[in-house]
């Protein structure tokens, strides 16, 4: 079975601080995909990044960076110099299984509040 754990339910920081959102996943499949989505107060789900299990390179996109470590089954997300607009709920998700099994398994989400 697949499982995603986001242990941090809520995080609150002051603007310009760096913040890391943790994600730990479980799967027995060797081929899988990991995702991060952002859900701002307006409610939509915005895709941020996708990683496959064969690519452990870390990725940086502006103030966002992702650290994928298969050894610890983690896919953590760091926001550098946070801004108020980063306030949202962030979801980590896993897709694994045989070809055609499309189910995305989501973590419970981390509510991030950036205070001015």
Partner 1 sequence: DAGVIQSPRHEVTEMGQEVTLRCKPISGHDYLFWYRQTMMRGLELLIYFNNNVPIDDSGMPEDRFSAKMPNASFSTLKIQPSEPRDSAVYFCASSPSNRGTQYFGPGTRLTVL
Q: Residues in the site for partner 1, rule: CB under 8 A?
A: 33, 35, 37, 42-47, 50, 91, 99-104, 106-109
Give the residue with the Cβ less far from partner 1, 85 or 98.
98
b/e code 39-77 from CB counts within 10 Å (16+ = b):
eeeeeeeeebbebebeeeeeeeeeebbbbbeeeebbbbb
Give the residue with the Cβ less far from partner 1, 71 or 102.
102
Residue 54 CB, shortest distance to partner 1, in Å, is: 12
Residue 99 CB, shortest distance to partner 1, in Å, is: 6
Give the residue with the Cβ less far from partner 1, 32 or 114.
32
How far is the C-alpha of 74 from the C-alpha of 15, rounded, in Å? Answer: 26
Residue 16 CB, shortest distance to partner 1, in Å, is: 30
Tokens read off for 48: 């941020």
**Partners of 114 in beta bridges:** 13
Tokens read off for 102: 């499309």
Give the residue with the Cβ less far from partner 1, 14 or 45.
45
Place of tokens 């701002």: 40
Residue 50 CB, shortest distance to partner 1, in Å, is: 5
């Amino acid at each position: 079975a697949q499982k995603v754990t986001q242990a941090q339910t809520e995080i609150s920081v002051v603007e310009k601080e760096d913040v890391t959102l943790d994600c730990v996943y479980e799967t027995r499949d060797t081929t899988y995909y990991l995702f991060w989505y952002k859900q701002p107060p307006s409610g939509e789900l915005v895709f941020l990044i996708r990683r496959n299990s064969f690519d452990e390179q870390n990725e940086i996109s502006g103030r966002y960076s992702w650290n994928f470590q298969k050894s610890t089954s983690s896919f953590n997300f760091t926001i550098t110099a946070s801004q108020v607009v980063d306030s949202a709920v962030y979801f980590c998700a896993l897709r694994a299984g045989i070809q055609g099994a499309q189910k995305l398994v989501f973590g419970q989400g981390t509510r991030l509040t950036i205070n001015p």
